[in-house]
Structure 1
Amino acid sequence: MTGSAQAEEASIAPITARDAPLLSERTEWGVDVGEWALPAGWAWVCLADVLGEPLFNGRSVRTTADGFPLLRLTALKRGGVDFSDQKNGAWTKDQAAPFLVSDGDFLVSRGNGSRKLIGRGALARHVPSPVAFPSTMIRVRVHPEVMISEYLTNIWDSLLVRLQIEKAARTTAHHAYTISHDILADIRIPLPPIAEQRRIVEKLQHHLTRLDSGQCSLQRGISLIPELRSAVRNTAISGRVPSTSTLNHWRWGHLGDVIARIEAGRSLPCESRPAKENEWGIIKASAMTWGNFNNDEHKAVQAGTKIDPRHEINQNDLLISRANTSTHVGASVLVGECRPRLLLSDKSLRLVPKEGIAKTWLIHILSSSYVRRQISSMATGTLESMRNITQQNLMRIKIPIPSHEEQLVIGDAIKAELKRIDRLAERIEPLRFQSEHLRESLLTRAFEGRLVRQDPADEPVSAALARIRAERETQGGRKESTPRRPRRPAPSSSSPLARTAVQLEFEL
């Protein structure tokens, strides 16, 4: 490392994660993003001030098998435009010509059903073949003498821009969110000299590449948790559990060999809301969807309805979903804590094991992939959204049956392993949120002018903007692409994002 580089590194303190909720965790901050004092040579600008061309909407056409390609809205990813995410439209190349994507184009989502995805932007790099962009996107082309596209890409991912977009987004009659040209044109951005933009982008690329790699590893770890749980439950079938006998001592049988009876619930008139403490409730299918019983997933039974107390759910009941989606039909749960006055529904069944059959073993047999495959093959129904399994078919499911003593050992061993997996998941999940906080902190630092050194020799932004304005006046002026709203108040003395919190070290 050179002496000047070492001096730069030493002058920058560790990056901190801001004590602010992630965008995905909040619904509305209820605060305005003010402007703070910037380093010499920087300036606050609106996006309209740095445009090289007017903002431009794409065009959508009917999908066809052999037309000219255009991007799907889902092609806008954090890392850039995914050009493999496209379809063919009913138009020709000449018709699509005004809407073709070029290298350096920044595409922004015009509408989305999710507030946190509205206004998502992505930079087009290395366009592999001609493709158009649809009407659900707005094309942004910045003036190359005042802003580089990579700087826009990075600041667009920052909390500063997200807050402005989400606050200004409009809601349609169909409860979707939209943004318009005037909203985009008025986005306020702290702009450094173009030479410093390049230094910032280079530094951010170095750090964000490392951070992205870590986040990918974390995400992969999180995605593998369900597979790990499934593998552990499958040991109830395979017999590969410590302290158990060999499979030679087991016998094959059917679920009917270990179940004394099956109790079904009823369909009752319900309110759309959950039950109050003194009311009866009836569980929804979602109470048994994810492997753990969730007694919050229920609806209140209408007042005056005749209740059969035999259908009340109790702790340690073994329940199974009789009707659900193709993925979750036959999902089983062992009830832990349960509120009183909670009833089985007509889509749920209670399995009562025979004497000498351990529920702690049986729940893992039912959750194993071997049994799940049998349930899927036996389930009936024309719609994937609602499949059914009959009591008769349940009783026919083939299972290996160990001795009662081995059932207890298997149940305890699998329970212990699942707890270890839960503890692992509890350790991984916070790291993902911390990495997002670190990303926000890194971006905030960059756009406050505290990531790289300023160079007095850099041309100030004001000079570049003045030169562009003069060029436009010489050319007869350029009509703004959108109506402009009044600008925000003058800058305040400090950044509203500079909130201290738990410090995360980020080696620079």
Structure 2
Amino acid sequence: MAFPKYESYKDSGEDWLGEVPEHWEVKSLSSILINRNEKNEPVKTKDILSLSIASGVTPYSDENRGGNKAKNDLTAYKLAYPGDIVLNSMNVVVGAVGLSKYFGAISPVYYALYLRNKEKTSIDFYSYIFSNSTFQKYLFQYGKGILVKKSDSGKLNTIRMKISMQDLKKVPLPLPPITEQKRIVEFLDHKTSEIDEAIAKKQRLIKLLQEQKAILINQAVTKGLNPKATMRDSGVEWVGEIPEHWEVARLKTLMKKMDQGWSPQCFNYPADDNQWGVLKVGCVNGYQFNSTENKVLPPNLKPISELEIKHKDILISRANTIELVGSAACILEPRKKLLISDKLFRVLADEEKVMPEFLVLLLQVRTARMQIEIGANGASFSMQNIGRDVIRNIWSAIPPVCEQKEILNLVLAINDQSRRMTAAILKEIEVMTEFKYTLIANIVTGKILI
């Protein structure tokens, strides 16, 4: 897509800006924005605002908010007003910044910036600049800190590189005429809204695919593959009708052994192949085993060899959120030196009655999930627990092992197709997101004429 350019440009003298339109000015941040630095003492508001990379500025009371835990002393906070650009001085380099819609108390490590001259500048224009990843990376040079973490993809996730207000004031910003600022904001508001809606549609499509996958798997595991099979009443309300030749039983009749692990104080990073690691509860999230979800066992602690995971072990989370408690995975050919924690149950299946992989499917279906969620308990909704008997007493329909293999093969095919379709949609979302931020960067730095 070709966009028009300005007639003439000049060198801004700044790497992150490059060339800017001839008639634009480049000014220091302190010439355009003021740090509010207003304390909440005496207390002017009890409404605390949170700031996260994903959601920007939100009320702390929001259920899906991000950010840090609230402090008890409200006078320790500063204040932010609607229309302030709020940024985390320790995380702005990875996008912890947003335009506030609220009046509220903010963390002492946050800055709240407002316009020096509202007649000549637009806060929305500068909010778009702060959301620009090129600008955020430019701020790295002002950061002072030692902790930088990267994900496997190379993305920076947790940064502690504090930028002082003294340094931030020196940061160069473009200053177009106010009419252009407003025109740019109007265009970007419209265009980014279109892109965000397109991304939302793709995300809804992924959700529909997941729901369709769950329905297909649930039907196959609980009713079989033959739609013409003669059905009978199982005699168990949870289970309902099942194929005539299937059995109905509690899961404990399919288990040879069930135990749980050990949770010593470990180092907060994963073990390499030569170290012992203790598996975290998240290692079975999504019904897939993730061996990297572990913590290093300190060398002064002797590993309990009986707790080392083995081929065809089934691991089940016994403590997690209500959606994740009871998640399970079958371990196939695991690496050595991984121990189960006390947040995990380990089950050894009776393979004369059930394939280990099929037993995991039985825990995944809707009727089993209902029984798990009813049996869960805990003081906090965000951390629910289940006892062994909750798992052991789950009622399920049990097909012959030969049919289990057929059902498992179908489920593997369904999962594979779902993964491929989801990956394709996620790639489209990635492309749209990249286009959005590239468009913003090019427009707010004058590379495109609006």
TM-score interval, normalised by the smaller of the two chains: 0.7 to 0.9
Q: What is the RMSD of the two structures over their aligned residues, measured on CA atoms?
A: 4.2
> Are the structure 2 counterparts of residues 410 and 82 from structure 1 closer, same or farther at C-alpha, using a change threshold of 3 Å?
same
Measured after TM superposition, the shift of residue 324 of structure 1 is 4.8
Could you tell me which amino acid in structure 1 is paired with residue 181 of structure 2? Q
Aligned length: 402
CA contact (8 A) 1:58 1:135 kept: no
CA contact (8 A) 2:85 2:113 kept: yes
Equivalent in the alignment of 2:26: 44
> Are the structure 2 counterparts of residues 11 and 227 from structure 1 closer, same or farther at C-alpha, using a change threshold of 3 Å?
closer
Structure 2 counterpart SS, 1:289: helix
Separation in 1, partners of 2:271, 2:60: 49
> Are the structure 2 counterparts of residues 75 and 419 from structure 1 closer, same or farther at C-alpha, using a change threshold of 3 Å?
closer
Measured after TM superposition, the shift of residue 202 of structure 1 is 3.3
> Are the structure 2 counterparts of residues 317 and 152 from structure 1 closer, same or farther at C-alpha, using a change threshold of 3 Å?
same
Equivalent in the alignment of 1:157: 131
The counterpart of 1:291, out of the listed 275, 287, 294, is 287
Measured after TM superposition, the shift of residue 282 of structure 1 is 4.2
Residue 375 in 1 paired to residue 372 in 2?
yes
Could you tell me which amino acid in structure 2 is paired with residue 73 of structure 1? S
Residue 220 in 1 paired to residue 204 in 2?
yes
CA contact (8 A) 1:71 1:83 kept: yes
The counterpart of 2:169, out of the listed 185, 208, 216, is 185
User: What are structure 1's unaligned runs of at least 5 residues?
Assistant: 1-8, 14-31, 91-97, 125-130, 454-508
Separation in 2, partners of 1:181, 1:106: 16
1:187-266 maps to which residues of 2 (within 5 A)?
187-222=171-206, 227-236=211-220, 238-239=222-223, 241=225, 245=229, 246=231, 247-249=242-244, 250-259=246-255, 261-264=256-259, 266=261
Equivalent in the alignment of 2:66: none
Measured after TM superposition, the shift of residue 140 of structure 1 is 0.5
Separation in 1, partners of 2:39, 2:356: 59
Separation in 1, partners of 2:352, 2:387: 23
CA contact (8 A) 2:315 2:331 kept: yes
Separation in 1, partners of 2:301, 2:122: 69
- Sequence identity (%): 23
Deviations 1:62-86 (A, max 9, x none): 99xxx96746234998798889969
Separation in 2, partners of 1:192, 1:305: 65
1:385-424 maps to which residues of 2 (within 5 A)?
388-424=385-421
CA contact (8 A) 2:278 2:296 kept: yes
Measured after TM superposition, the shift of residue 350 of structure 1 is 2.1
Equivalent in the alignment of 2:69: none
CA contact (8 A) 2:91 2:161 kept: yes
Deviations 1:23-44 (A, max 9, x none): xxxxxxxxx9455232221121
Residue 73 in 1 paired to residue 58 in 2?
no
Measured after TM superposition, the shift of residue 122 of structure 1 is 0.9
TM-score w.r.t. the length of structure 2 is 0.72
CA contact (8 A) 2:93 2:139 kept: no
Structure 2 counterpart SS, 1:340: coil
Separation in 2, partners of 1:382, 1:186: 50
Equivalent in the alignment of 2:4: 12
CA contact (8 A) 1:199 1:452 kept: no
CA contact (8 A) 1:76 1:107 kept: no
Equivalent in the alignment of 1:451: 448
Deviations 1:41-68 (A, max 9, x none): 11211122235xx4313443799xxx96
Measured after TM superposition, the shift of residue 101 of structure 1 is 4.0
Equivalent in the alignment of 2:356: 359
User: What are structure 2's unaligned runs of at least 5 residues?
Assistant: 6-13, 64-71, 73-77, 148-158, 232-241
Could you tell me which amino acid in structure 1 is paired with residue 334 of structure 2? C
Residue 429 in 1 paired to residue 426 in 2?
yes
Separation in 2, partners of 1:109, 1:10: 33
Equivalent in the alignment of 1:140: 114
Structure 1 counterpart SS, 2:23: coil
Residue 267 in 1 paired to residue 259 in 2?
no
CA contact (8 A) 1:360 1:408 kept: no
Measured after TM superposition, the shift of residue 382 of structure 1 is 5.2
- Structure having the higher strand fraction is 2
Measured after TM superposition, the shift of residue 218 of structure 1 is 3.0
Structure 1 counterpart SS, 2:290: coil
Could you tell me which amino acid in structure 1 is paired with residue 259 of structure 2? A
Structure 2 counterpart SS, 1:319: strand
Could you tell me which amino acid in structure 1 is paired with residue 177 of structure 2? P
Structure 2 counterpart SS, 1:73: strand
Residue 55 in 1 paired to residue 35 in 2?
yes
> Are the structure 2 counterparts of residues 209 and 305 from structure 1 closer, same or farther at C-alpha, using a change threshold of 3 Å?
closer
TM-score w.r.t. the length of structure 1 is 0.65
Separation in 2, partners of 1:121, 1:269: 40
Relative contact order, CA 8 A, sep 6+: which one is greater? 1
Could you tell me which amino acid in structure 2 is paired with residue 364 of structure 1? L
Residue 349 in 1 paired to residue 327 in 2?
no
CA contact (8 A) 1:319 1:351 kept: no
Structure 1 counterpart SS, 2:412: helix
